[in-house]
Amino acid sequence: MKRSHLALFGLAPFFAASALAQTTDAGKPIVQITDASIQAGQSVTWTKDNVYVLNGFVYVEDGATLTIQAGTVVKAQQGTASNASALVVSRGAKIMAIGTPAEPIVFTSVLDNVSVPDISTANGGQDGVDYREGTSRSLWGGVVLLGKASNNVGANVLVEGLPNDPRAYYGPGTGNSPVEDDNSGTMRFVQIKYSGSVIEAAKELQSLTLASVGSGTTLEYIESFMSGDDGFEFFGGTVNTSHLAVYGADDDSFDYDEGLRGNHQFWFALQTTTNGDKLGEFDSGNATPGIKATPLASPNVYNATLLGRGRTASGGKEALIYKEYGGGAFRNSVVAEVNNRAVTINTDTEERYTNGGISFGDNLVYVTGVMANFAAANTAWTTASANNRTADPMLTGIAREHTDATKLDPRPASGSPALTGAGTVPSGLVQTTYVGAFDATTNWLAPWTAMAYNGIASSAAPVARDVDPDVTGLTVGTLAPNPARGRAALAFALDRPQHVRIAAFDVLGREVAVLVDETMASGPQTAAFDTASLGAGVYLLRVEVGGRIATRTLAVAR
């Protein structure tokens, strides 16, 4: 229905009695979410007025769109093996989880009281998790995005960590060409905490699993906090990412295989002194159909800052490992706080380095062991040929707990060699003069991350850029009358002609009516509608322009 004046009809009140049966953090209503809550083709919105609880595997099915408002908390019931809780965005579906620096979206466990820091021995025992304890990992599954871009394994592949269900397949599908620009939605300013359930041996869920996700997807400012497995794992795909952060992953911070490509910039990882395997595990293929299957993994990873357990900590591994024919570029980055070598290239992957398929250069490395070596020949990897340097990056502050005297602040201090030395970046990436994920002025971990909220990272510095929580090019004006008994109207203005969609949602966030779905001219606009068919209650109106979303609530009185 493409017209700007449309009567709303058949709506249930936005707050229903069944949703108010329980309360949680700050007294917000709990909405229980099951696999039946989001059906194929539906548009569903979750708002910050409620706390949403995942019960088991919840799929956003083909054709559905799940929108999560800034400041919303999504919790997951505990579970192990086949009954773990997770949010899965299937092929053909979208997630629009758009937080802000001041109001990030939080995915966490039902044990986590997000109103207080995650220190169970403090605050009168108000929180059921403690970020300092390994028992707080693996409390639920994680978030999974599945797409139709290419990988080097198959057209219909069951993603690791989920039961055999067609909704858990990734790849282009039988007989279909890959959709390299596939769009699984947007995630921005999102925390994912205490995830990483082990479903069965060698099959785990991560904080964020990305399988055949396409380049039309936007992923930036996302944090993995205390994952029981990897922070971020990529299975093929062409997705681009920026500003990804990992704290305390029990396994790898970043893990890619099955032919990942795309541009990836401004990655950060910090291991605890006792946990964490590799900071980066970079593969390409696997035994079936073979490690040299195409497309080969060849992502561009630039401006990472990866910090290990500490230069004197025991049990640390090499920072990066290339194996199973893994490759790609890792450049303009800082690797430090590692009590081992910086890079290992396995025997099965030496050929990719020889052929130029691994580009490791313009990096600043400060580790206890040698710069790097080949696992088979134990041949030292010289630094001069690729402009790698070995020196203390002189970061402003490295901290792993809230009790540390200094706060985590990975910006290079005055005089740091990290302030210079960057090489030229490929098209699509930001050219910097500095190496690593931070310049001298901006700590982009603050204030939106769990690291900042829990007092590990400094929360005083500004974020990297101002992200408008409203919609670019749109000014939303008065919704009146509000409360309404008859007709109501939403006033807004566009700075240029744009496509506008305004829809209404019920208590579970299900889209129940569309008011506007058309391209509109610049200047003042009005969307008018009739509330006569509505019962008394509160409803959510969502305004979408250019992939960004603003929301307003409407009260109806009788």
Q: Which of 10-14, 100-104, 172-176, 396-400 has the weakest average pLDDT?
A: 10-14
Q: What is the pLDDT of residues 336-352, one digit of tens each?
A: 999 988 888 898 998 99
Position 74, amino acid: V
High-pLDDT (> 70) share of the chain, %: 85
CA distance 170 to 212: 6
- What is the band of 186 on the pLDDT scale with cuts at 50, 70, 90? very high
Q: What is the pLDDT of residues 251-264, one digit of tens each?
A: 999 999 999 999 99
Asked if pLDDT for residue 375 goes beyond 70, the answer is no
- What is the band of 198 on the pLDDT scale with cuts at 50, 70, 90? confident
- What is the band of 78 on the pLDDT scale with cuts at 50, 70, 90? confident
CA distance 533 to 122: 50
Q: Which domain holds residue 319?
A: 71-453
Asked if residue 385 and residue 240 are part of one domain, the reply reads: yes
| 56: in domain | no
pLDDT of amino acid 378: 36
Please answer whether residues 326 and 287 qualify as being in contact, where contact means their C-beta atoms are separated by less than 8 angstroms.
no
Asked if residue 178 and residue 302 are part of one domain, the reply reads: yes
Longest dimension (CA), the chain: 81
- What is the band of 9 on the pLDDT scale with cuts at 50, 70, 90? very low
**What mean pLDDT do residues 218-236 have?**
97
pLDDT of amino acid 541: 81
Asked if pLDDT for residue 373 goes beyond 70, the answer is no
Q: Which of 183-197, 500-514, 515-529 has the weakest average pLDDT?
A: 500-514
Asked if pLDDT for residue 16 goes beyond 60, the answer is no
- Choosing from 399, 422, 453, the residue where a domain stops is 453
Q: Are strands 320-322 and 334-338 parallel, antiparallel or unpaired?
A: unpaired
- What is the band of 24 on the pLDDT scale with cuts at 50, 70, 90? low
Asked if residue 506 and residue 443 are part of one domain, the reply reads: no
CA distance 89 to 108: 17
pLDDT of amino acid 533: 72
Asked if residue 498 and residue 432 are part of one domain, the reply reads: no
Please answer whether residues 301 and 330 qualify as being in contact, where contact means their C-beta atoms are separated by less than 8 angstroms.
yes
pLDDT of amino acid 230: 96
| 544: in domain | yes
Asked if pLDDT for residue 372 goes beyond 90, the answer is no
Q: Please report, for the domain that includes residue 113, its CATH number.
A: 2.160.20
CA distance 78 to 141: 9
**What mean pLDDT do residues 163-187 have?**
97
Asked if residue 556 and residue 509 are part of one domain, the reply reads: yes
pLDDT of amino acid 22: 46
**What mean pLDDT do residues 77-106 have?**
89
Asked if residue 496 and residue 449 are part of one domain, the reply reads: no
Q: Tokens in use for 509?
A: 């966030």
Closest CA relative to residue 332, chosen from 430, 222, 254, 241: 430
Asked if residue 449 and residue 474 are part of one domain, the reply reads: no
Q: Tokens in use for 491?
A: 């006033």
**What mean pLDDT do residues 112-132 have?**
85
Q: Annotate 222-247 with b (16+ C-beta within 10 A) or e (fewer).
A: bbbbbbbbbbbbbbbbbbbbbbbbbb
User: Which helix (H) or strand (E) is 427 found in, with range?
Assistant: none
Torsion of CA 271, 240, 412, 227, to 10 degrees: -20
| 62: in domain | no
pLDDT of amino acid 192: 98
| 192: in domain | yes
- Give the total number of structural domains in the chain: 2
Torsion of CA 171, 262, 451, 114, to 10 degrees: -30
Q: Please report, for the domain that includes residue 17, its CATH number.
A: 2.60.40.2550
Q: Tokens in use for 218?
A: 């936007």
CA distance 139 to 128: 11
Asked if pLDDT for residue 291 goes beyond 60, the answer is yes
Q: Tokens in use for 262?
A: 């795309």
Q: Which of 14-18, 93-97, 194-198 has the weakest average pLDDT?
A: 14-18
- Choosing from 428, 453, 478, the residue where a domain stops is 453
Angle in degrees, CA 223, 224, 225, rounded to 5: 110
* Other residues' Cβ atoms within 10 Å of the Cβ of residue 509: 26
Q: Please state, rounded to an integer, the average pLDDT across all residues of the chain.
A: 86
pTM for this one? 0.81
Q: Which of 19-28, 234-243, 377-386, 459-468 has the weakest average pLDDT?
A: 459-468
Asked if residue 287 and residue 371 are part of one domain, the reply reads: yes
pLDDT top residue among 410 and 7 = 410
Q: Which of 249-258, 305-314, 466-475 has the weakest average pLDDT?
A: 466-475
Q: Tokens in use for 57?
A: 């595997």
Asked if residue 271 and residue 385 are part of one domain, the reply reads: yes
| 57: in domain | no
| 51: in domain | no
Only one residue has tokens 């009567």, namely 7
pLDDT of amino acid 498: 83
| 464: in domain | no
First to last CA, the chain: 27
Q: What is the pLDDT of residues 259-289, one digit of tens each?
A: 999 999 999 999 999 999 999 999 999 888 9
pLDDT of amino acid 362: 94
Q: What is the pLDDT of residues 489-504, one digit of tens each?
A: 888 888 888 888 887 7
pLDDT of amino acid 499: 84
Asked if residue 309 and residue 414 are part of one domain, the reply reads: yes
CA distance 268 to 36: 36
User: Which helix (H) or strand (E) is 81 found in, with range?
Assistant: none
Q: What is the DSSP letter of 290?
A: B
- Choosing from 418, 453, 488, the residue where a domain stops is 453
CA distance 536 to 293: 60
Q: Tokens in use for 142?
A: 């994680």
Phi-psi region of 467 (alpha: psi -120 to 50; beta: other; left: phi over 0): beta
How distant, in Å, are the alpha carbons of 109, 192, 202, 496, 549 from that of 237? 29, 21, 22, 34, 26
Asked if residue 406 and residue 322 are part of one domain, the reply reads: yes
pLDDT of amino acid 3: 32
pLDDT top residue among 65 and 465 = 65
